[in-house]
Amino acid sequence: MPYGSISELPESVRNVLPEHALNVYKEAFNSAYDEYAKPSERQGDADREETAHKVAWAAVKKAGYEKSEGGGWLKK
């Protein structure tokens, strides 16, 4: 399901990402959720939501964030 706001993101995402990264995550998730609606558009047997989460994490990394030793994510 697409997310309408940052507050709707899973707690496991909200608790580790800074605000800008949360926006990146939400937008990437929503875009991927729409783009990979058909199973034939996804790799392997991943479902639509799993694929969208993978794309969203990749977008956060591409935006320059990396996981810190403490478990949170920081801008490089």
Of 9, 61, 16, whose CA–CA distance to 30 is shortest? 9
> How far is the C-alpha of 70 from the C-alpha of 37, rounded, in Å?
35
The CATH number of the domain holding residue 62 is: 1.10.1740.70
- pLDDT tens column, 5-64: 999 999 999 999 999 999 999 999 999 999 999 988 888 888 999 999 999 999 999 999
User: 39: domain range?
Assistant: 6-75
> How far is the C-alpha of 41 from the C-alpha of 67, rounded, in Å?
29
pLDDT level of residue 75 (50, 70, 90 thresholds): very high
User: Is residue 48 domain-resident?
Assistant: yes
Judge contact between 31 and 15, C-beta under 8 A. no
- Coil, helix or strand at residue 65: strand
User: Is residue 1 domain-resident?
Assistant: no
| Identity of residue 24 | V
Number of structural domains (the chain) is: 1
User: Is residue 28 domain-resident?
Assistant: yes
